[in-house]
């Protein structure tokens, strides 16, 4: 064989060997090893929540607190475990630019919420903390500062978050009777609420009015507190609120923040409640017994005004558990069920399917509140991906500046919209990604 031909053949053989090596050690064959490394790298990301950064057995961060108190820090650490395969999967459908603004009125069709154009619509947004315990607000409810929650072009020191929905937590006690401790009348409070709602709807944002604090049949005055169930004043509250806002096509009614009675029967219908909670009138803990009206009666009160707005009804266990909705179903139209996940032992990823994921295949489900307390993203990153996979709209808690983002689910550093590192940055990035 000629010497030149030998050189050519040897070159071909060498090239073949090199190519086979590249194929063998390429991405398809080292995928398992890379995934193991990625999993190990997540061990810190999925770490247990620090002992001093979780409030004891509550869903809402404000559930047991008077407004001047800081969250309790006595709970046992809860390690975050990996969720089911679907919980961390990429979203199967990304909302379009169409959902960057409100498109009401909305209707329920099966397990889907439809916008005015007859197409499915997902709500994504933020809870604007403060009006549940203050008749006058915190001085940051003007139209300009509210606009930062919605869509816009970021500028020097200004950050727009891209939400399409803003949740406003309210107090029935202040709405009906004012707040003498703030020298503020019921009319002043109602006027402030209307000013804020009008500003947000002018910005083409949806507004969720949430009955957050109640008065336990007038035994918990001023702002009231996070009592277990609605009472007679809740009926009056919703008769008035629904009467005013039933013509607002982009306003939703969250009928009661986080129910936590002893039984599903008591959740649905009237019963006697004995509950222990922090009360705004004394900034102390009270144990009170009062008559609850049940969630069905609150829905009826809204519908009897002629309002057809979507109504959100939260489940048991501080609004988290919707597992028995099939048995204790709310009667009426345009009903959406609501879940509030937080990183407590019974609310970790393995519980999500049973608590609200499975039921979302039959009924419309939204999450009006969620968050975490550790400045991290281990819980919320999984939760938001789970929501996307299941086409569940969500609103994160909370747009407020309290100076303790590692002890409270605080999203922003200032009222110009600068995200807090960790959860704040995560929620901001997710919201901007939708639009």
Q: What is the pLDDT of residues 138-187, one digit of tens each?
A: 999 999 999 999 999 999 999 999 999 999 999 999 999 999 999 999 99
Q: Predicted confidence band at 435 (pLDDT cuts at 50, 70, 90)?
A: confident
Rounded distance between C-alpha atoms, residue 357 and residue 228, angstroms:
24
Q: What is the pLDDT of residues 107-130, one digit of tens each?
A: 999 999 999 999 999 999 999 999
Q: What is the pLDDT of residues 311-356, one digit of tens each?
A: 999 999 999 999 999 999 999 999 999 999 999 999 999 999 999 9
Return all residues near 332 (Cβ < 8 A) that are at least 6 apart.
Answer: 299, 300, 303, 311
Specify the 3-state DSSP secondary structure of 255: coil
pLDDT score at 403? 78
Rounded distance between C-alpha atoms, residue 130 and residue 400, angstroms:
8
117 or 20: which leads in pLDDT: 117
Rounded distance between C-alpha atoms, residue 173 and residue 237, angstroms:
9
Q: For the chain, what percent of residues have pLDDT higher than 70?
A: 78
Q: Predicted confidence band at 24 (pLDDT cuts at 50, 70, 90)?
A: very low
Rounded distance between C-alpha atoms, residue 321 and residue 367, angstroms:
11
Question: Which residue, 44, 95, 92, 51, is CA-closest to 73?
Answer: 51
Rounded distance between C-alpha atoms, residue 59 and residue 296, angstroms:
22
Listed in sequence order, the DSSP H helices in 103-162 are: 143-147
Residue by residue, DSSP assigns 231-258 as -HHHHHHHHHHHHHHTT-TTEEEE--S-
Residue linked to tokens 């499915």: 120
Q: How many CA atoms lie within 13 A of 267 on its CB side?
A: 26
Q: Which helix (H) or strand (E) holds 21?
A: helix 3-24
Q: What angle do CA 332, 367, 357 make, to 5 degrees?
A: 85
């Amino acid at each position: 064989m000629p010497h030149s031909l030998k050189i050519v053949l040897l070159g071909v053989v060498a090239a073949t060997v090199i190519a086979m090596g590249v194929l063998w050690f390429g991405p398809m064959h080292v995928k398992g090893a890379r995934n193991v490394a990625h999993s190990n790298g997540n061990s810190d990301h999925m770490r247990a929540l620090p002992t001093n950064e979780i409030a004891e057995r509550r869903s809402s961060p404000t559930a047991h607190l008077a407004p001047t108190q800081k969250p309790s820090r006595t709970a046992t650490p809860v390690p975050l475990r990996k969720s089911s395969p679907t919980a961390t999967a990429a979203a199967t459908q990304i909302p379009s630019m169409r959902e960057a603004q409100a498109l009401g009125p909305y209707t329920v069709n099966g397990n889907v919420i439809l916008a005015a154009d007859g197409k499915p619509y997902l709500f994504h947004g933020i809870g604007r903390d403060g009006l549940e315990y203050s008749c006058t607000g915190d001085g940051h409810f003007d139209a300009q500062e509210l606009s930062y929650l919605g869509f816009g072009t970021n500028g020097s020191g200004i950050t727009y978050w891209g939400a399409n929905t803003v949740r406003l937590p309210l107090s029935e006690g202040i709405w009906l009777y004012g707040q003498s401790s703030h020298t503020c009348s019921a009319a002043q409070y109602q006027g402030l609420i209307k000013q804020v709602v009008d500003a947000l709807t002018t910005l083409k944002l949806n507004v969720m009015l949430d009955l957050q604090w109640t008065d336990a049949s007038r035994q918990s005055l001023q702002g009231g507190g996070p009592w277990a169930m609605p009472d007679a004043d809740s009926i009056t509250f919703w008769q008035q609120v629904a009467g005013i806002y039933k013509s607002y096509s982009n306003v939703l009614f969250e009928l009661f923040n986080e129910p936590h009675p002893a039984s599903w029967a008591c959740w649905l219908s009237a019963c006697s409640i004995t509950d222990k909670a922090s009360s705004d009138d004394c900034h102390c803990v009270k144990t009170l017994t009062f008559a609850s009206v049940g969630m069905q009666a609150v829905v009826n009160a809204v519908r009897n005004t002629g309002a057809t707005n979507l109504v959100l009804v939260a489940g048991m266990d501080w609004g988290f558990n919707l597992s028995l909705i099939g048995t204790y179903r709310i009667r009426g139209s345009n009903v959406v069920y609501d879940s509030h996940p937080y990183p407590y032992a019974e609310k970790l990823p393995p519980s999500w399917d049973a608590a609200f994921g499975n039921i979302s295949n039959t009924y419309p489900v939204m999450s009006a509140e969620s968050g975490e307390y550790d400045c991290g993203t281990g819980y919320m990153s999984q939760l938001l991906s789970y929501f996307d996979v299941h086409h569940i709209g969500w609103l994160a808690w909370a747009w407020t500046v309290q100076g303790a983002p590692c002890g409270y689910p605080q999203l922003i550093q200032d009222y110009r919209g600068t995200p807090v590192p960790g959860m704040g940055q995560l929620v901001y990035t997710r919201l901007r990604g939708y639009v």
